Amino acid sequence: MDRVMSNKKMIALYVLPAFMLILALIYIPIVLTGYYGLMRWDGIGAMAFIGLDNYSRLVQDADFWQSAYHSFLLALFSAASLIGYLAIALVLSGDVKGANLLRKIYLVPMLLSSVAIAQLWLKIYHPTSGVLNSFLTSIGGSGSVEWLSNTKIVLLAIFIPIIWQYAGFYILIYYAALKNIPSSLIEAARIDGANPWQIAFRVKIPLIANVAKVTVVLAIVGSLKYFDLIYVMTDGGPNGASEVMASYMYHQAFRSFDFGYGSAIGFFLLLICLVITWLIRKLTASGDDIQYS
């Protein structure tokens, strides 16, 4: 066993192709982003080396920290939403009638591009003719909430479609993981007299703990660098009320032509993600997979 599975040539053959690709297409951009972050550069003319000026500006930039706060909130909400998705996946993977069809239907929104999702939610949130306000009026509410222009609610309003957009993604992963549990194990628990709750909490969830940990990392990292719907639906507005780190970076680099500063933000975002991922893996490490963290 050890000899076969320790063959250096085979290991290299398995790992190197992907590794080279990542090195070329992800690490070169990362290194260059770090490099541009040390420059004053509008992305067009000559670069000038300014050391860590962009970073000291970043530290004092209240707009950036506001966007970072928004990103962290989104990460928190996304991570919390995983519980709901896990619950749905648990139900679907049990012996519910029609689970197969339901599962497919549940995942349909995932197929839509961000362009379509944004349009849909813009129609839902429209201040006068929107679905949500019409509904609120019909149940006796005031129905005149300005979902996307009220700076106090826009952030929550934009989080809902973002979190919903990923529902299919996580349900799919959980579902596949749950279905991957050998049915013999569940059968054995049932014979021992375990009820569905006990099977879910004592057999199924512990068995997919590894997958769950991965999804937590994915949800948090994905949220921290989230961009799409914010860009289409509010463009970070009104006046920065729904700005997140990635949209702030984009605005600096591509709208304000401050590519040096934009790169510094991009690099800093990467560092934040690294630290947080490291923390998550430390916190969730168990004897089984400590070797990977």
| CB count in 10 Å sphere of residue 115 | 11
Which of these ranges, 29-37, 53-61, 75-83, lies near other proteins under the rule CB under 8 A? 29-37
Give min distance, CB of 140 to other proteins, in A: 19
Q: Which is nearer to other proteins, 12 or 59 (CB)?
A: 12
Q: For 236, left (φ over 0), alpha (ψ -120 to 50), or beta?
A: left
Q: Which of residues 32-91 bind other proteins (CB under 8 A)?
A: 32-33, 35-36, 42-46, 88, 91
Residues from 170 through 229 that contact other proteins (CB under 8 A): 172-173, 175-177, 179-180, 182-184, 195-198, 200-202, 205-215, 217-218, 221-222, 224-225, 227
User: What is the maximum span of the chain, computed from C-alpha positions, in angstroms?
Assistant: 73
Interaction of residue 115 with other proteins, rule CB under 8 A: yes
Q: Is 26 in the site for other proteins (CB under 8 A)?
A: yes
Minimum Å gap between C-beta 268 and other proteins is 10
260 interacts with other proteins by CB under 8 A: no
Residue with tokens 């959980």: 174
Nearest to 160 by CA among 214, 84, 212: 84
Q: What is the rounded CA–CA span in Å between residue 3 and residue 272?
A: 40
**Taking the complex as a whole, how short is the minimal distance between the CB of residue 117 and other proteins, in angstroms?**
7
Task: Indicate whether 230 belongs to the interface with other proteins (CB under 8 A).
Answer: no
State which of residues 64, 85, 159, 259 lies at the interface with other proteins (CB under 8 A): 259
What is the DSSP code (8-state) at residue 6? T
- Region of 286 please: left (phi>0), alpha (psi -120 to 50) or beta: beta
| CA pair distance 28, 110, nearest whole angstrom | 31
Q: What are phi and psi of 83, to 5 degrees?
A: -60, -45
Nearer to other proteins, 56 or 293 (CB): 293
Q: Which of 32, 121, 64, 68 is nearest to 251 (CA)?
A: 64
Give the residue with the Cβ less far from other proteins, 52 or 116: 116
Site for other proteins contains 137 (CB under 8 A): no
